[in-house]
Amino acid sequence: MGHLRGLTAARLLAAAFLLSVAVPAARAQEETEHEEEFSYVVGDENGPEHWGSIKAEWGNCSAGRMQSPIDLSHERVSLVRSLGYLTHSYRPAEAAIANRGHDIMVRFKGDAGFLVINGTAYYLKQMHWHSPTEHTVDGRRYDMELHLVHESSANKAAVIGMLYEIGAEDPFLQALEPSIHRIADRQDREEAIGVVDPRRARGRASVYYRYVGSLTTPPCTEGVIWTVVKRVRTVSRHQLELLREAVHDVSS
């Protein structure tokens, strides 16, 4: 469900906090959804170190200069008060849950609301979980990362990343557990689950990291605005194991 592909220190300096950089914008729908096309296992013939050579259109995965995920090192972080409080206008919406083989995803069928960044509205399209985290903080990798994926009317992508460590149950995941059980072991299975309230994911924050990077799965398209919430939340060991076992990820 997660991988260790990331940026070198030089690449981090090139990517972080450059919101005005001119790069092609990534679309939220561009993520590859079929696990058999790539692997997270280092050393596999289609593992992270080979993503860029599997398909020509995946070249950014190896040659890109603004690739995600990155290590959010406090030595390189700049405090920018003008970014303001991270707020959103989410609302309950019809949704479906899918087992993509490499992760569990909730896809919104209705209008789930939006997030505003630099005056642009980015509409919530889907959310999915990675374990362990893709982003690290000062080299530390946490137990789980939730991605809330948004897209603007101009097809530009923005993602909120939320980090979790083992502890108390996550209420949002708890409500989804029956649905996750139903699609466990059923790769490429998607089923409607009725109305889901994304506000229960508690995505608001006063302190967060922001940088321009890429999609973290092929085609690794650059131009994604990343917002990683600094506050670390909790998820129970049972919930983490449920997510991993549903996609046959039994790694520790």
Residues 6 or more apart from 99 whose CB is under 8 A from it?
Answer: 183, 184, 186, 187, 188, 189, 190, 246, 247
Q: How many whole angstroms from its chain centre is CA 201? A: 13
Q: Is 34 exposed, middle or buried (0-12, 13-18, 19+ CB in 10 A)?
A: exposed
Report yes or no: 246 and 51 within 8 Å, Cβ to Cβ.
no
Active-site residue identified among 102, 135, 147, 150: 102
Q: Which of 243, 152, 244, 212 is nearest to 21 (CA)?
A: 212
**What value, to the nearest 5°, has the Cα angle with vertex 115 and ends 173 and 59?**
85
Active site residue 102: yes
Judging by DSSP bridges, how do beta strands 136-137 and 71-72 pair with one another? parallel
Q: Which residues are catalytic, by number?
A: 102
